[in-house]
Amino acid sequence: MAIQKQDAKFAVSVFYARATNEVWFESVYLNQPATIAEVIALSGFEQTFPTINWQAAGVGLFGRNCSPEEQVSAGARIEIYRPLTFDPMQSRRRRAAHRKAQALAKKKPRIKQKRHDRVKPTSTLEQSTEKSHG
């Protein structure tokens, strides 16, 4: 099904971003419509990465998750996803707890005084009588 570039009616690109900040990609030239699974097979991905189960991790077209049986059109960008290495919700909770702890650490502690520790102010009348008697 894959043909030479000059004889092709359309081209499709297959991308896989490795965890080491490297991107593998291959252009596949087709003369007739094909599914995502067929294009991946023609790209040589399975021979290049025999240990990766791309069907379990998932695939997408231009960032939209889709099934391997979906037909591709001219200029399509097929993306092969990696499995998640961590739970995104757990990471969000961890970051929120960290931000909360930082905010609490920045706050100055407020010392509350007990009512009976306060000195009761004397009125001016009491002060003047104390001076005259004392």
- Structure confidence by residue, pLDDT tens digits, 47-101: 998 888 888 888 999 888 889 998 998 888 999 988 777 788 998 999 999 998 8
Report the run of H or E that residue 60 belongs to, with start and end: strand 59-61
Instruction: Give pLDDT tens digits for 4-16.
Output: 556 668 889 999 9
Q: Is residue 112 part of a domain?
A: no
110-130 pLDDT per residue, tens: 666 666 655 666 666 555 555
Residue 118 lies in a domain: no
Q: Residue 44 is part of which domain span?
A: 5-80
Report the alpha-carbon distance of residue 79 to residue 26 in Å, rounded: 11
Residue 116 lies in a domain: no
Task: Return d(Cα 97, Cα 83) in angstroms, integer.
Answer: 26
Asked if residue 93 belongs to a domain, the reply is no
**What letter does residue 62 receive in the DSSP assignment?**
T
Pair 36, 61: CB distance under 8 Å: yes
- Checking DSSP bridges between strand 77-80 and strand 64-66, what pairing results, if any? unpaired
In a domain, 100, yes or no: no
In a domain, 29, yes or no: yes
3-class secondary-structure state, position 130: helix
Tokens encoding 107: 């706050």
Indicate the number of domains in the chain: 1
Which residue's structure tokens are 């593998």? Answer: 24
Is 47 a member of any domain? yes
Distance, in Å, from the CA atom of 131 to the CA atom of 125, rounded to the nearest integer, reads: 10
The CATH number that applies at residue 72 is 3.10.20.30
